Structure 1
Amino acid sequence: MIEKYSANERGYADHGWLQTYHSFSFASYYDPSRMGFGALRVINDDTIAPGKGFGTHPHQNMEIITIPLSGALAHKDSMGNASTIQAGEVQYMSAGSGVSHSEWNASTQEPVSLLQIWILPQRQGGSPKYDQKKFQWQSSDKPSLLISPDGREESIAIGQDAFFTMIPLSGKAEYRYECKKSGNASYIFAVDGEISVMEQSLQKRDAVEITDENQYTLIAKRPSQILIIEVPLEFEKTE
């Protein structure tokens, strides 16, 4: 089964310093039919003005992945981490039993564009964790596994049976994707470009949810950057 969600169907808020699109219910955007997709709870597509950002705020029991698309994001947290995340890097923070952090545009000249994605963890509580890693997905012509449950292929390990794969496609290229864990479902997000999958056409920031299909083919209509988020639809939470 495949279900398409166009970019213009997302929630949107303009805070002046922040323009944000919500694929699922978040903050003032609420749609009871869009509360998540299995373990995938949030995809926020943010653009933050130069020198602006989010003040210190708490999180609990959430796996938070930040992917800058352009620019640089500064980060500081209660674990003692202070870093700058550049486009091409991926940041992971497991909130565990509780963590506080702030994040802001590291530039006073250019905006920063990013995706922030929240995944529900298998295990509640525990100590918070942090990781940050540079990938080559912006300059490579090969898929990059960014996130996995076990850190395979030099990916970042998180506390859920989830996999994030960034797939660059040249014009007219095809890519056959096979789910890495049986029973997982796929959320396909067109970061850029235009593709078709299972007879659905996706343009920039469109998405599809695929269930009950372990394999499918992405067909590029022009150069594209595609993020596949593979997650369990159901899972048992443990303390």
Structure 2
Amino acid sequence: MTMALYAGSDRSSETVKGRLTRHSFSFGSHYDPANLGFGPLVCHNDDRLEPGGGYPDHPHSELEIVTWVLEGALVHTDSARSGEQHVVGAGRAQVLSAGSGVRHSEVADPASGRCRFVQAWLAPSEPGTEPAYVLGEAPLPGSGLVEVAGGSGLPIGTTGARLLLARLAAGQSATLPEDPRQHVFAATGAVSLGPESLRAGDAVRIEDEPGHAVTASEDTELLVWSFA
């Protein structure tokens, strides 16, 4: 049974023109053999884009790519939809199943100003599937966690994986799922979780300690990956 805090200040980061990315796991040139992933979760990036900044067209395969937009709007284009564009505003999620191979680009909508999004990559349960894309509006949560992807949320090709969201006002609490493995990320605000206190950018990785209560000490947006 473990609960480990990973401070946001310890994450590696990459700055290029128009983009700042903070990595929760080993990524690209920031190689860390002791931090390659958590269960099927192999990437958990926090991106901040200037208007028009982001990622030009590039390829992926054998990944489930889940994006949650926190601020501004993201313009997504991919070859699974023959170059069709989608504008993903704050409070919306998208899932790109790369499958056998897909190309995509993601840039901050210049008309919406700066953009911030959190993107996770997961290993799929079945290789070689047909690429697919789905965009959805997350349910408006009250004081509890709601499923954004997996479960009753957007479909995702990683069995047993769920992304849950809680928007908590100061003083509100939520109970984490009963699944044996969870990655809890404070995107904004501050919360207490067991013996740990999380500020914006901090994460806790939990194994075999399900059902903990999370209490916000200020208005907080919390993202939880839970794995059955």
Spell out, residue by residue over 1:188-216, the C-alpha distance to the aligned partner (whole angstroms, 9 max, x if none).
00011111112111111100000012211
C-alpha spacing 1:109/1:211, structure 2 compared with 1 (3 Å)? closer
Aligned to 2:219, which of 185, 200, 223?
A: 223
User: Counterpart of 2:124?
Assistant: 121
Alignment size in residue pairs: 224
Spell out, residue by residue over 1:19-45, the C-alpha distance to the aligned partner (whole angstroms, 9 max, x if none).
110001112211111100011110111
C-alpha spacing 1:211/1:109, structure 2 compared with 1 (3 Å)? closer
Aligned to 1:156, which of 150, 154, 157?
A: 154
What SS is found at the alignment partner of 1:178? coil
Residue correspondence of structure 1 range 100-139 to structure 2 within 5 A: 100-107=103-110, 110-137=113-140
Partner Cα distance (1:216, 1:31) in 2: 29
TM-score, normalised via structure 2 length: 0.93
- Tell me the amino acid that sits aligned with residue 167 of structure 1: A
TM-score, normalised via structure 1 length: 0.89
What SS is found at the alignment partner of 2:176? strand
Please say if residues 40 and 231 of structure 1, whose CA atoms lie closer than 8 Å, have aligned partners that are also in contact. Answer: no
Gaps of 5+ in 1: 233-239
- Tell me the amino acid that sits aligned with residue 88 of structure 2: I
Partner Cα distance (1:25, 1:218) in 2: 27
Partner Cα distance (1:85, 1:113) in 2: 11
What SS is found at the alignment partner of 2:9? helix
The alpha-carbon deviation at position 178 of structure 1 amounts to: 2.5
Indicate the RMSD between aligned Cα atoms, in angstroms.
1.6
Spell out, residue by residue over 1:125-146, the C-alpha distance to the aligned partner (whole angstroms, 9 max, x if none).
1101110001244x75543210
User: Counterpart of 1:165?
Assistant: 164
Spell out, residue by residue over 1:51-98, the C-alpha distance to the aligned partner (whole angstroms, 9 max, x if none).
122111110000001111111111111122321111111010000000
Aligned to 1:90, which of 90, 93, 100?
A: 93
C-alpha spacing 1:106/1:159, structure 2 compared with 1 (3 Å)? same
The alpha-carbon deviation at position 169 of structure 1 amounts to: 1.6
What is the percent sequence identity of the aligned residues? 32
Partner Cα distance (2:205, 2:142) in 1: 26
Please say if residues 88 and 136 of structure 1, whose CA atoms lie closer than 8 Å, have aligned partners that are also in contact. Answer: no
What SS is found at the alignment partner of 2:45? strand
- Tell me the amino acid that sits aligned with residue 116 of structure 1: Q
- Tell me the amino acid that sits aligned with residue 143 of structure 1: L
User: Counterpart of 1:56?
Assistant: 57
Q: Does 1:211 align with 2:207?
A: yes
Spell out, residue by residue over 1:130-169, the C-alpha distance to the aligned partner (whole angstroms, 9 max, x if none).
10001244x7554321011xx52xx101111101110122
User: Counterpart of 2:146?
Assistant: 144
What SS is found at the alignment partner of 1:42? strand
Q: Does 1:196 align with 2:192?
A: yes
Runs (4+) of structure 1 exceeding 3 A deviation are 139-142
Partner Cα distance (2:68, 2:175) in 1: 24
C-alpha spacing 1:158/1:26, structure 2 compared with 1 (3 Å)? same
